Amino acid sequence: MIYTRPIRIEFNHCDPAGIVFYPRYFEMTNSVVENFFRDVARYPYEAMMAKGQGVPTARIEVDFRAPSRLGEVLDWSLEVLRLGRSAIDLRLSAEGDGIHRLTATLTLVMVGDGGRPISWAEEVRARITAFKEAA
């Protein structure tokens, strides 16, 4: 299954040329992931943080295809590639006006206090697995 979320390109995302400054895409990927955990895993970041947990990015690779400009709406999609004991691999893509803008692959790691990897809670694992397997 694919999780989707539109994001409108705002002035704060752009450089003086009016196109998205590439680090802002990383903020957008984080927003999509954060909302995925809220909507699908039903484990929002504020609940993680209250327990001393989090899902920091351990790896990210991006293929930039076309620029995005102020006012455009990017349709982001997120696909779960792999769910491990404490890590998750995701593929995110963004399109706008029928143009593929970028693809990012990310690895996030579930960590507890002290930043050490911990296993996914069973209910979180079950929700992500059900999402991944739904077609």
At 108, which CATH number? 3.10.129.10
Residue 127: domain span: 3-133
Q: How many domains, in total, are found in the chain?
A: 1
Query: What is the identity of the amino acid at 130?
Result: A
β-pairing, 57-64 with 87-96? unpaired
Order of strands across the sheet that contains 87-96: 3-8, 73-83, 87-96, 99-109, 57-64
pLDDT at 135: 59
DSSP helix/strand/coil, 13: helix
Q: How far apart are CA 96 and CA 54, in angstroms?
A: 30
Q: How far apart are CA 45 and CA 35, in angstroms?
A: 9
Q: Is the pTM of this model over 0.85?
A: yes
- Rounded percentage of the chain residues whose pLDDT exceeds 90: 96
Residue in this structure with the two tokens 């609940």, named with its chain if needed = 47
